[in-house]
């Protein structure tokens, strides 16, 4: 039977520190504000929005959601983004990804002000992440995964880590962060042949696919650590990428969904927002 490693204690620790920091800022009449940009109404975006808005309120950060139609043109999207870049009351901007296919992320990412880019969309922050320069903003979810591993004393050095998913938001950066901590990494994606073979050798398995119950018992090595990043909504219920009932008998440690990685992601997001706010106020 696995030990279930929840996100809550990790998120609570970060949240408590931030409550104090924000109190001090508010005493100085500085009011941290997060702008969230959502195009359409994807279920996973809505789950993030709920989590992020309630986390911000708990901490004393003002959340502001800009909701845009799913068929918005690239030109209009960029106009909205420029407004937020120029708005001095906004300290950080989170754009939910993936964006609909007709919006070109490779163009849009050059538009976001890197100083407000608290989830590593801008090539400036991507470059810093690649270089291991921590003056920028690494992406929140990969950072949340690393914080969970650290909190529960999981050794990374010398371990085999397999990641399913290679997006710029989760898969690729989490692989880079695990590599920086001296894991040996393998990245799987939709063109990978025999994913189960690649994941069975993993001491640490990170699932970021976006498909409910994708990871079955035969994907998992006995005694491994399974981190489920996926957020899927089935019949109105949030579930991950891992078939929890099957895998719970094999893994040593496993994160649940909900109340796993997602709750830590929102607290890292809040931490980045406070960092951006302080930088913009020369604190």
Ligand X SMILES: Nc1nc(=O)c2c([nH]1)NC[C@@H]1CN(c3ccc(C(=O)N[C@@H](CCC(=O)O)C(=O)O)cc3)C=[N+]21
Which residues form the interface with ligand X (CB under 6 A)? 44-45, 47-48, 50-51, 95-97, 119, 140-141, 169, 231, 238, 257-260, 262-263, 265-266
Place of tokens 């009449």: 29
Where is 246: in which H helix or E strand? helix 244-247
Determine the interface stretch with ligand NDP among 23-31, 166-174, 217-225, 246-254 (rule: CB under 6 A).
Answer: 166-174
Give φ, ψ of 107 to 5 degrees.
Answer: -95, -45
Residue 230 as a binder of ligand NDP (CB under 6 A): the answer is yes
**Which residue has its beta carbon closest to ligand X?**
51
Shortest separation between residue 197's beta carbon and ligand X, angstroms: 28
The region, left, alpha or beta by phi > 0 then psi within -120 to 50, assigned to residue 155 is beta
Burial class (CB in 10 A: 0-12, 13-18, 19+), 171: buried
- Tell me whether residue 210 is annotated as binding: no
The residues in 72-91 that bind ligand NDP, with binding defined as CB under 6 A, are none
- Pick the piece of the chain touching ligand NDP (CB under 6 A) from 123-131, 204-212, 218-226, 269-277: 204-212
165 binds, among ligand NDP, ligand X, none (CB under 5 to 8 A by kind): ligand NDP
* Tokens encoding 204: 């640490």
* Binding partner of 183, given ligand NDP, ligand X, none, CB within 5-8 angstroms per partner class: none
From the list ligand NDP, ligand X, none, partner contacted by residue 263 (C-beta under 5 to 8 A by kind): ligand X
> Taking CB under 6 A as the criterion, which residues in 232-271 touch ligand NDP?
232, 261-262, 265
- Beta strands 62-68 and 160-164 are unpaired
Q: Which of 211, 223, 279, 283 touches ligand NDP by CB under 6 A?
A: 211
The alpha carbon torsion through 167, 173, 178, 181 (nearest 10 deg) reads: 170
Length of the chain: 283
Residues 99-118 that bind ligand NDP (CB under 6 A): none
End-to-end Cα distance, the chain: 48
Q: What tokens does 189 get?
A: 């994606």
166 marked ligand binding residue: yes
Give the CA radius of gyration of the chain. 19
Structure tokens at 201: 């050798």
Q: Which is nearer to ligand X, 108 or 188 (CB)?
A: 108
The verdict on 191 binding ligand NDP (CB under 6 A) reads yes
Contact 252, 3 (CB under 8 A): yes
Has 165 been labeled as part of a binding site?
yes
240 carries a ligand binding annotation: no
Site residues for ligand NDP per CB under 6 A: 44, 98, 141, 164-167, 169-171, 188-192, 195, 208-211, 229-232, 261-262, 265
């Amino acid at each position: 039977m696995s030990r279930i490693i929840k996100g809550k204690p990790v998120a609570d620790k970060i949240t408590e520190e931030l409550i104090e920091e924000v109190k001090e800022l508010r005493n100085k009449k500085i009011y941290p504000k997060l702008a969230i940009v959502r195009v359409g109404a994807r279920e996973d975006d809505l789950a993030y929005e709920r989590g992020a808005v309630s986390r911000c309120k708990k901490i004393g950060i003002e959340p502001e959601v800009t909701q845009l139609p799913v068929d918005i043109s690239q030109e209009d999207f960029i106009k909205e983004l420029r407004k937020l870049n120029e708005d001095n009351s906004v300290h950080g901007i989170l754009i939910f990804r993936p964006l609909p296919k007709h919006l070109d992320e490779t163009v849009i990412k050059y538009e976001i002000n890197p100083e407000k880019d608290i989830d590593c969309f801008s090539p400036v922050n991507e470059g810093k992440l690649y270089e291991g320069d921590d003056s920028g903003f690494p992406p929140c979810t990969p950072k949340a995964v690393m914080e969970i591993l650290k909190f529960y004393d999981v050794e990374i050095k010398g371990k085999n880590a397999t990641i399913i998913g290679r997006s710029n938001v989760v898969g690729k950066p989490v692989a880079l962060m695990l590599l920086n901590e001296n894991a040996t990494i393998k990245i799987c994606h939709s063109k990978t042949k025999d994913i189960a073979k690649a994941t069975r050798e993993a001491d640490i398995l990170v699932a970021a696919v976006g498909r409910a119950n994708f990871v079955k018992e035969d994907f998992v090595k006995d005694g491994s650590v399974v981190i489920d990043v996926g957020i899927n909504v089935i019949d109105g219920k949030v579930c991950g990428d891992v078939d929890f009932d099957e895998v719970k008998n094999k893994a040593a440690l496993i994160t649940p969904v909900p109340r796993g990685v997602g709750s830590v992601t929102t607290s890292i997001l809040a931490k980045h927002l406070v960092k951006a706010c302080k930088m913009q106020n020369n604190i």
